[in-house]
């Protein structure tokens, strides 16, 4: 009697999506996020969020740059996703030209950035961090942009972070990105590590929101 074939391992993109669904709901419903999105805060809360994102993306894009020539991880690195220059432009608009002296980075954001660096050069870990941020920016980020325009009088300037001029159709790009994730062909242990790290990335995001929530109340 021949052995039954093992169930095929789920594609990484599906594993990440299903496995982080509850974390996503939790992040989306963090009080700071809800308050910011409903217009209950002010522009300084948005500016503070942008400042925290700077250190997170500096870490993510530093690790990504080092992975660019990696046979396995390289295909996950896309120039058109690069966010640090856009964040710097936003900060110059929001804080003024002396923004580097004026922003304040919260310990939770430093911890998040440190975790991204600490897991380099692991491809499953980079995949988890890049997935969590970039696919989020291309999805909910677009809703965030509209709400910031509506509630805080921003129009393009200050919102460069959410604009991907080289990605005209987010859905097409996200599908291609998911194919790259799936093409990594992670083994079972690596896939489990990637999911655990993506869940951790969501928790690190929530910790930043919680700290921002202490600083900005309706
Ligand atoms: C204002 C808060 C948020 C809103 C309104 C929001 C909304 C959404 C929506 C509508 C999608 C589905 C898009 C689609 O199916 O193409 C999505 C996907 C996603 N979001 Fe969010 N989101 C928010 C916050 C976050 C945060 C804080 C993170 C993580 C840092 C995040 C990470 C993701 C990821 C990774 C996906 C892709 C899921 C997948 O297809 O695998 N989101 N978001």
Interval 90-139: pLDDT, tens: 999 999 999 999 999 999 999 999 999 999 999 999 999 999 999 999 99
Tokens encoding 79: 């120039």
Q: Which residue, by CA, sits nearest to atom 27 of ligand 1?
A: 27
Q: Is the CB of 24 under 6 A from ligand 1?
A: yes
Q: Is the CATH number 1.20.910.10 carried by domain 12-215?
A: yes
Locate the domains of the chain by residue range. 12-215
What pLDDT is attached to residue 7? 65
216 Cα to the center of ligand 1, angstroms: 23
What pLDDT is attached to residue 107? 98
Q: Are 194 and 125 in contact (CB under 8 A)?
A: yes
DSSP character at residue 5: P
What pLDDT is attached to residue 214? 98
Specify the DSSP element, H or E, that contains 52.
helix 43-67
Q: State pLDDT tens for residues 40-74.
A: 999 999 999 999 999 999 999 999 999 999 999 99
Q: Which residue, by CA, sits nearest to atom 23 of ligand 1?
A: 140
Q: State pLDDT tens for residues 17-42.
A: 999 999 999 999 999 999 999 999 99
**Mutational test site, ligand 1, from 140, 182, 199, 207, max ligand atoms within 8 Å of CB:** 140
Q: Report the C-alpha gap between 38 and 111 in whole angstroms.
A: 28
Q: How many CB atoms lie within 10 A of CB 116?
A: 27
pLDDT greater than 90 at residue 198: yes
Indicate which atom in ligand 1 lies nearest the CA of residue 36. Answer: 1
What pLDDT is attached to residue 79? 97
What pLDDT is attached to residue 165? 97
What pLDDT is attached to residue 48? 98
Q: Is the CB of 132 under 6 A from ligand 1?
A: yes
């Amino acid at each position: 009697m021949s052995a039954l074939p093992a169930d095929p391992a789920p594609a990484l993109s599906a594993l990440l999506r299903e496995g982080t669904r509850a974390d996503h709901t939790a992040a989306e419903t963090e009080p700071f996020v809800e308050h910011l999105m409903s217009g209950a805060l002010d522009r300084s809360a948005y500016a503070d969020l942008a400042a925290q994102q700077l250190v997170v993306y500096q870490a993510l894009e530093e690790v990504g740059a080092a992975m660019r020539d990696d046979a396995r991880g390289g295909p996950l690195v896309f120039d058109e996703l690069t966010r640090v220059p856009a964040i710097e432009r936003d900060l110059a608009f929001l804080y003024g030209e002396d923004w580097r002296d004026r922003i304040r980075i919260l310990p939770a954001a430093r911890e998040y950035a440190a975790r991204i660096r600490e897991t380099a050069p692991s491809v499953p870990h980079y995949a988890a961090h890049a997935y969590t941020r970039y696919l989020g920016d291309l999805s909910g980020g677009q809703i965030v942009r509209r709400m910031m325009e509506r509630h805080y009088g921003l129009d393009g300037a200050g919102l460069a972070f959410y604009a991907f001029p080289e990605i005209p159709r987010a859905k097409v790009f996200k599908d291609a990105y998911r194919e790259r994730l799936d093409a990594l062909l992670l083994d079972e242990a690596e896939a489990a590590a990637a999911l655990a790290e993506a869940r951790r990335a969501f928790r690190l995001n929530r910790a930043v929101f919680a700290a921002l929530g202490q600083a900005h109340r309706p």
